Amino acid sequence: MRPTLVTLYIVFLVVLTGYAVGIAAHAGALLWAAVPMAVVLIGALRAAGPRTELIGWAAFTGWLGMTYAHTGGPLEVGVFFAYVALGALGVFRSPWFFGFAWAAHIGWDCLPRALPGDYASLPLACMFFDGPIALYLFFGAHSGRWKPLMPEAEPRRQAL
């Protein structure tokens, strides 16, 4: 895909996913919608090919960090920036960072916090959304599906 189309596709998926979460929350359906939304997201990114998928997972890892940033607390804002960094590390160094970020988010979801009424089930729903995605990302990293855009430099060979 051309870079502009890739960018538009990924932005479209991020916005669509955000709206889908909001709609499910307002309908009181976050829990039952979490796994299907994870499967659809995995399929939508996978269908675009490995390189686009790698960039897409970087964008979605940053998006994941925004889950609680809207509460405005300094810790939540700090976590958002940490997730942006993990997304960048995933795309430029190793896709294992994606899996780590999504798996760690499950633990982050377990921390008690005050949420708006529609989002009371968000922590549990996130576990059902984040878990399958984390497993997929670990599988993809293990299988070598994605190559970092800036892999580790090869060690220098010493002249004899």
Per residue in 95-119, pLDDT tens?
Answer: 999 999 999 999 887 777 777 777 7
The pTM for the full model equals 0.88
Question: Comparing 30 with 151, which gets the higher pLDDT?
Answer: 30
Residue-level pLDDT at 158: 62
41 φ, ψ (degrees, to nearest 5): -65, -45
Per the structure block, which two tokens stand in for 108? 């982050």
63 touches 14 (CB < 8 A): yes
Domain layout of the chain by residue ranges:
3-143
Of 43, 24, 26, residue with least CA distance to 34: 24
Tell me, what's the pLDDT at 152? 62
Q: When comparing pLDDT for 10 and 3, which is higher?
A: 10
Residues 6+ apart with CB under 8 A from 66: 80, 83
Task: Write the pLDDT tens digit of every residue in 36-93.
Answer: 999 999 999 999 999 999 999 999 999 998 877 776 678 888 989 999 999 999 999 9
Determine the average pLDDT of the residues in 9-32. Answer: 93
DSSP state string for 6-46: HHHHHHHHHHHHHHHHHHHHHTT-HHHHHHHHHHHHHHHHH
Q: Position of tokens 């960072």?
A: 97
Angle between helices 96-109 and 122-143 (to 10 degrees): 160
* Residues 6+ away with beta carbon under 8 Å from 30: 21, 24, 119, 121, 122, 125
- The predicted structure's pLDDT at residue 132: 97
Contact 125, 31 (CB under 8 A): yes
pLDDT of residue 112: 74
